Chains A and B, each alone.
Chain A
């Protein structure tokens, strides 16, 4: 089933806010979030726990009602007939009745998506093969490992060969080969014209496959752009010396273990500082240049130094 490549917006979210009023104090889970995703595009969402990623996904799929703002799916506000068979969704923790086998789960959800008979059987076989999960079909859900649950969740999301695929942590619980398999699958679907909205705590995965990335914090989008736009081209540099030099320049250094390190943001500044140090007779131990990673950009966007943040890292929310 080859889809027509389209660059028309598949999902448009405009100024969507969500305030949960059942809490003792109303808390805003989303604050005036806007985004658009088109066919043949992968949009990655990054954010810490509670950033609002899952709320955004559920709101986009009309599972959660926005307090304000508008959502248009396939150019229609609200749910329209046939909407469900054009959309695939993997929730953050895919769950199914414990007594059902993988094949029964897929048959049930496939039937709800309008598939039946031989077409459904063939599609299930194809997906289980594609996800290298043929053994999942006969096993009961209660016996599944976390990785198996994710694979079954992915299979059900792909049942209808959707035009919009919404994945909340699609690689959570997968082993490295599973992560690679999912990456290849998503890239193939993107190339076939599927719009993919995914949240992930694996920053490197998002960096590898996303065409655009949004970084969320406290219900807001704090950064948005292509990986190239988000990752600065200029490198960050470190001048490392063994002993703390004399003079005013000493205040630029910070102790790292047995050595002293000066961090500079541009090559021009680095050369100027090196000249100054050499003129002062300081022996330079080494000079290092670093290209910022998405992780650094991510924490920078949140106003946190990457080495300051230890608990859990970015993940569901």
Chain B
């Protein structure tokens, strides 16, 4: 099957991106801090005391600290990984218009659709594997420190990947439309870090333009809120994910339509 080598190649390109390597370094640093900086003490499966770099938290102070730490830390990690993976996705998806081997690949038995979708699927798979590995190691560290295995971490990772897949589809569309990796990264970062939070907050005075933005762009802030809520033990609401899936399909169809009309130079 011709698609597999292309997916593998696109995934490899993603892994070799500096942004992706930075994500791995950040994950490693976080896990090292967790291993050496935090000591947890459980009694009958319940956390009773946490030592964070020699500062001891217990009782109500422990509850407040753990919720604040987890909430902020999760927000920070999510933003950091999203930023780095958007850069990765924008570059790799721009290979749809400027891959060095594109003209040669497209004279093999490879359809334009397969080439385009492989360049989307490859990085998403690489990022998924990375996040899954990170969550597995994180869980193992928690288990080693006496906690029980927590499924919410995995659910939260899947939620993160859903948001990332939507943004990746958007980045692929922008890159094929503009033929520019930088524009793709910039627009996608603006959607995630500016438009989506503004839209979610329903900022006064911006309502009309935001209504348009809500239609054109996925509400990734809603998914991110879900991601954090799940990590903190909240329940799962499906509507943002169904909406994200619809956006992924529409963006890819539109991107494919543009790509099929392109002359390969």
Interface residues of A, Cβ cutoff 8 Å to B = 58, 61-65, 79, 81-85, 87, 89, 91, 94-97, 99, 105, 108-109, 111-114, 156-157, 166
Contacts and interface: CB of A to CB of B under 8 A. Distances in A.
B104 A91 contact: yes
Interface string B235-265: 0000000000000000000000000010111
Nearest to A95: B100
Interface of B: 2, 5-6, 9, 13, 16, 100-101, 103-111, 261, 263-265
12 contacts: A64-B264, A83-B109, A84-B109, A85-B108, A87-B107, A94-B104, A95-B100, A108-B101, A111-B2, A112-B6, A112-B110, A114-B2
A61 B263 contact: no
A191 B109 CA distance: 26
A63 B6 CA distance: 18
Nearest to A82: B109
B107 A63 contact: yes
A114 B105 CA distance: 12
Given A97-B101, A156-B104, A63 B109 contact: no
Given A58-B263, A97-B100, A112-B6, 13 more contacts: A61-B107, A83-B109, A84-B110, A85-B109, A96-B101, A97-B13, A109-B104, A109-B105, A111-B2, A112-B105, A112-B108, A156-B104, A157-B104
Contact of B264 (A63, A85, A94): A63
If over half of B's interface residues share one DSSP class (helix, strand or loop), that class is named, otherwise mixed; here it is: loop
B101 A95 contact: yes
By Cβ-Cβ distance, the 7 closest A-B pairs, closest first, are A84-B109, A95-B100, A84-B108, A63-B264, A111-B5, A112-B108, A64-B263
A273 B100 CA distance: 61
Contact of A89 (B6, B9, B104, B265): B104
B235 to A, nearest CB: 44
Contacts of A97: 13, 100-101
A168 to B, nearest CB: 10
A65 B263 contact: yes
A81 B261 CA distance: 20
Contacts of B109: 81-85, 112-114
Given A58-B263, A111-B5, A112-B6, A105 B107 contact: no
Nearest to B106: A63
Contacts, number: 65
Contacts of B107: 61-63, 84, 87, 89, 166
A50 to B, nearest CB: 14
A244 to B, nearest CB: 55
Contacts of A87: 107
Contacts of B263: 58, 63-65
A99 B16 contact: yes
Contacts of B108: 84-85, 109, 112-113
Contacts of B100: 95-97
Nearest to A99: B16
B101 A109 contact: yes
A82 to B, nearest CB: 6
A105 B103 contact: no
Contacts of A109: 101, 104-105, 108
Nearest to A29: B263
Nearest to A20: B263
A145 B71 CA distance: 53
A82 B108 CA distance: 8
B247 to A, nearest CB: 29
A91 B105 CA distance: 11
Contacts of B16: 99
Contacts of B265: 58, 64
Contacts of B2: 111-112, 114
Nearest to B260: A65
Contacts of B9: 108
A75 B103 CA distance: 22
Contacts of A112: 2, 5-6, 105, 108-110
Q: Which of A79, A82, A105 has the most CB of B within 10 A?
A: A79
A111 B104 CA distance: 13
Nearest to B6: A112
Nearest to B95: A97
**Most chain B Cβ neighbours within 10 Å, of A99, A105, A112:** A112
B251 to A, nearest CB: 23
Contact of A58 (B103, B110, B261): B103
Contact of A105 (B6, B101, B111, B261): B101
Contacts of B5: 108, 111-112
